[in-house]
């Protein structure tokens, strides 16, 4: 049987908990996830916070562009109640839990990884374009440095890796922290990298689920070039099995507990033609006809 891929909790255990909250990551830790995934954005006063969107309306009760707000301003909003909008009608409900409602800083998430009691991988995605350009990567490396994770000693690896769709972002990271692993996220594979190679200095391939479903042979091509393959976002049981069967090294999932349960069962994935159509988490992006 193929080796089990690492299961990385996408924005925490975000199927059941509000994404990017401390509660979501603690739930993922309790579920046995091998690692966490987060997105980072820079506030107007220089703090990295774990938020996916450029604007804050979807995941908070505030409005506006995150990069124009200070951490104090973001702290005033509720970042969790959107997940369970009727909770405030329950007269017996507990008072709001700050682990659920408070904006999560990268610093707090790094401390959570450090204090987890077992090894936890941390995949940090930089979001681009942004008004702060290279300052995001600089602040990120500074934060990792405070935990001793930006410049791992020879023969050791940092628990953190940096992911981005932007080659320029990864190049900045590589320049500032040459020993830190990087992942190039892809919703399509550029022609010159369809042989499994990656830009100089990039450690791992990060193709979408759609790519490895349409072109499972890409995984072997990347492995032949010495690159691990980390696939996003993998939720359906059949997709989890498919990724395991083709040799994917890590899957990023909203459902870490269910993914681990599925991987514990050696049953192979059904042929693609026999699978149920998948409901996309977001609109599918274009994938290449050929790799």
Point out the residues that are catalytic.
10, 52
> Left (φ > 0), alpha (ψ -120 to 50) or beta: where does 54 sit?
alpha
Q: Single out the residue of 122, 95, 96 nearest to residue 25, CA to CA.
A: 122
Burial class (CB in 10 A: 0-12, 13-18, 19+), 147: middle
Q: Are 187 and 285 in contact (CB under 8 A)?
A: yes
Instruction: Output the six-digit token pair for 187.
Output: 């919703």
| Distances from the Cα of 105 to the Cα of 102, 184, 209, angstroms | 9, 23, 28
Q: How far apart are CA 181 and CA 170, in angstroms?
A: 9
Q: How far apart are CA 269 and CA 5, in angstroms?
A: 15
Q: Are 3 and 247 in contact (CB under 8 A)?
A: yes
| Distances from the Cα of 59 to the Cα of 12, 67, 85, angstroms | 14, 15, 12
Q: How far apart are CA 176 and CA 195, in angstroms?
A: 28
Sequence-separated (6 or more) residues with CB below 8 Å from residue 117: none
């Amino acid at each position: 049987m193929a080796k089990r891929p690492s299961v990385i909790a996408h924005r925490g255990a975000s199927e059941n908990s509000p994404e990017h909250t401390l509660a979501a990551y603690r739930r993922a830790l309790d579920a046995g996830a091998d690692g966490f995934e987060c997105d980072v954005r820079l506030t107007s006063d220089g703090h990295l916070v774990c938020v996916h969107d450029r604007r804050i309306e979807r995941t908070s009760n505030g409005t506006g562009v995150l990069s124009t707000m200070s951490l104090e301003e973001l702290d005033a909003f509720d970042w969790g109640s959107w997940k369970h909008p009727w909770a405030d009608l329950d007269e017996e409900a507990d008072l709001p839990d700050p682990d659920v409602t408070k904006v999560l800083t990268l610093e707090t998430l790094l401390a959570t990884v450090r204090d987890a009691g077992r090894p936890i991988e941390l995949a940090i995605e930089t979001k681009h374009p942004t008004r702060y350009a290279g300052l995001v990567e600089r602040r990120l490396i500074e934060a990792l440095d405070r935990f001793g994770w930006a410049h791992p000693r020879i023969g050791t690896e940092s628990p953190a890796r940096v992911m981005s769709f932007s080659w320029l972002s990864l190049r900045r990271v590589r320049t500032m922290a040459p020993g830190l692993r990087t992942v190039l996220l892809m919703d399509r594979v550029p022609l010159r990298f369809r042989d499994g190679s990656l830009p100089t200095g990039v450690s791992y391939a990060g193709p979408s689920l759609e790519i490895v479903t349409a072109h499972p042979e890409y995984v072997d091509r990347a492995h032949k070039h010495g690159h691990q393959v980390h696939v996003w976002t993998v939720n359906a049981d059949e997709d989890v099995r498919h990724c395991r069967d083709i040799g994917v090294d890590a899957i990023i999932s909203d459902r870490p507990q269910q993914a681990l349960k599925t991987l514990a069962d050696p049953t192979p994935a059904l042929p693609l033609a026999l699978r149920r159509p998948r409901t996309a988490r977001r609109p599918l992006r274009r994938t290449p006809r050929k790799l």
